[in-house]
Structure 1
Amino acid sequence: MDHQPRLCAVQCLHPGGLHRLAYWEWGAPDHDDVVVCVHGLTRQGRDFDVLAQALQAKRRVVCPDLPGRGESDWLSNSALYQVPQYLADLVTLLARLKARRVAWVGTSLGGLIGMALAGMPHSPIDRLVLNDIGPSLDPQGLMRIASYVGRQMRFDTQEEAADSLREISVGFGPHTAQQWMALTRPMLRPDGDGWRLHYDPALAQPFTAATAQAVAAGEVALWQAYDQIAAPTLVVRGADSDILHPQTARSMTQRGPRARLVELPGVGHAPTLVQPDQVDLVCDFLLS
């Protein structure tokens, strides 16, 4: 079993040029059953290490760093840090993977991209896990995220960074010190004699600039996509989530793919899929 993933990359197109999309790959590189795991707004692909290690004996697991994050290139035009560009990049990645079957695990933003892709005609996605995300987003949670995304943060030590990230990530639920440090290290880059966060602060601009009309139009488009999804779908909701409202989650069980809903007590936005019960839940769904 691999205890470390392979770092790979693919060239993707954006208006005005090319950029490198990095991705972390676990399991046999020629396995044609692939699980694609896509992270949230300010996170990166190493968030899925624990889940990937649990799946790698039976699947190839591919965890991209969305552009502007992790090992991927930053985009010169910050207006491109939005779902259409991410969709285009991940379709390019899927073409590279030559998968026979594709399952998708999307946390938060990664789930929005997954919904959009799974709702398209001829979508390759045949199983979908939406981790604490739905077509409608609770404004309270969006305001909370807007309060910290893109803030230039610098830390003297990794421990200081871990403490600071824990403060803005209360919704991730309880973790041991060891689990939290494993989630923190890939979030950091050396900066002189200290550390900074891995992502381009400019990715906050489209997020914070979104108008009420744009959010409403996006919601309509996402519900339309959701209603077209044919793949079996699992919705994982942190019981204390301030992003996925209970009513939205219930609606997701009644329309479109009629998702199975599992709520996790003591967790908000978003479950990290690190705890054994969360890992088992997702693995059972993907492998059944």
Structure 2
Amino acid sequence: MTAARIKSVQCISPAGLHRMAYKEWGDPDNQKVLVCVHGVTRVGDDFDSLAQALSDHYRVVCPDVVGRGRSGRLRNPLLYQIPQYIADMVTLIARVTANSDGGTVDWFGTSMGGLIGMGLASLPESPIARLVLNDIGPTLDPVALARIGDYIAQDLRFKSFSEGAKFVREVSASFGAHTEDQWHKLAADVLRQNEDGEWVRHYDMGLAEPLRGSTPEKAKADEAALWAAYDAIRCPTLLVRGAESDLLSRETAQAMLTRGPKPQLVEIPNTGHAPTFINADQIAIARKFLVG
């Protein structure tokens, strides 16, 4: 397996500077770049299998969104929101396309990573040439959102890695069937040992702060803004839905087919939120759309 390179780029928020780490696969001089962005409590390591498989065609860049994994933390946790993440990705894309003529990238976004991609792809002169939205859309099920919000806010500490791994596996059951080795990696990617020897999750607990201010009125306004962004997307788009997803409903997916970029739709059976794209059959779906 080709080794990945761990790099970082300096970004800015209204509260100051921070660093965003990213993992880079493939030929460092390849001007064809694929950016893969993870879900709200996951990390760039999630894409190791996909990145390795597609590094024959792309230089694959997998950031840890600020507040997660190897990346820095924001001084003001209220800034842990999509506009800040989009700004960070613009900085990252400027870095990784500095030597290319067009400055464009293809984008694979899972859940939150898809929302970031949706926002960036909607902008005039967007650098995104092709877009994969993995189990995410403008209308998000409120019960599923509440479940995710509760999960983020739990400051959990585990006495052993195995105890933490059991928890990660239980809350990630909707990812679908995986081997024991794959479950081990999915846990190892997001668990860290603290100074007291406890195993904790890799992210800033401040991620929960913006969620606490949510109201039905704000949720409605956010949904309207997401649909407006989606309707502005013009690049070729693939929408992936876990057939058992509780976050992206079949109704929302069907509505997305008639609006905005009018994407292709692929549903993955026996999988909820969200497909991991670790296994060969799912990687083949991404390759077919992105590479042809």
Please report the TM-score for the alignment, with normalisation by the length of structure 1: 0.97
* Aligned AA (1:217): A
* Aligned AA (1:69): R
Alignment correspondent of 1:184: 187
Alignment correspondent of 1:238: 242
Q: Cα deviations across residues 87-136 of structure 1 (Å, max 9, x unaligned)?
A: 10000001101154311000001000100111111111111000000011
Alignment correspondent of 1:158: 161
Alignment correspondent of 1:217: 221
- 1:38 paired to 2:37: yes
RMSD of aligned Cα (Å): 1.1
* Aligned AA (1:144): R
Alignment check: 8 A CA contact 1:125 1:231 kept: yes
- 1:250 paired to 2:254: yes
The equivalences for 1:64-79 within 5 A come to 64-79=63-78
Q: Is the partner of 2:151 in helix, strand or coil?
A: coil
Q: Is the partner of 1:204 in helix, strand or coil?
A: helix
Tell me how far 1:158 sits from its aligned partner.
Answer: 2.1
- 1:280 paired to 2:279: no
Q: Is the partner of 1:68 in helix, strand or coil?
A: coil
Aligned residues: 287
Q: Cα deviations across residues 225-245 of structure 1 (Å, max 9, x unaligned)?
A: 111111111111011111101
Alignment check: 8 A CA contact 1:14 1:85 kept: yes
Alignment correspondent of 2:123: 120
Tell me how far 1:173 sits from its aligned partner.
Answer: 0.8
The equivalences for 1:31-110 within 5 A come to 31-98=30-97, 99=100, 100=102, 101-110=104-113
* Aligned AA (1:139): P
Tell me how far 1:208 sits from its aligned partner.
Answer: 3.4
Separation (CA, whole Å) in 1 of partners of 2:209 and 2:68: 15
Separation (CA, whole Å) in 1 of partners of 2:185 and 2:134: 20
Q: Is the partner of 1:24 in helix, strand or coil?
A: strand
- 1:260 paired to 2:264: yes
Separation (CA, whole Å) in 2 of partners of 1:213 and 1:272: 32
Separation (CA, whole Å) in 2 of partners of 1:150 and 1:46: 22
Tell me how far 1:207 sits from its aligned partner.
Answer: 2.1
Separation (CA, whole Å) in 2 of partners of 1:180 and 1:209: 34
* Aligned AA (1:261): L
Task: Name the stretch that deviates more: 211-220 or 118-127.
Answer: 211-220
Alignment correspondent of 1:201: 205
Separation (CA, whole Å) in 1 of partners of 2:183 and 2:231: 36
Q: Which runs of 5+ in 2 are unaligned?
A: none
- 1:27 paired to 2:29: no
Alignment correspondent of 2:17: 18
Alignment check: 8 A CA contact 1:127 1:232 kept: yes
Alignment correspondent of 1:132: 135
Q: Is the partner of 1:149 in helix, strand or coil?
A: helix
Q: Cα deviations across residues 184-208 of structure 1 (Å, max 9, x unaligned)?
A: 1121112232311100011011123
* Aligned AA (1:44): V
Q: Is the partner of 1:147 in helix, strand or coil?
A: helix
* Aligned AA (1:286): L
Alignment check: 8 A CA contact 1:150 1:200 kept: no
Aligned-pair identity in percent equals: 54
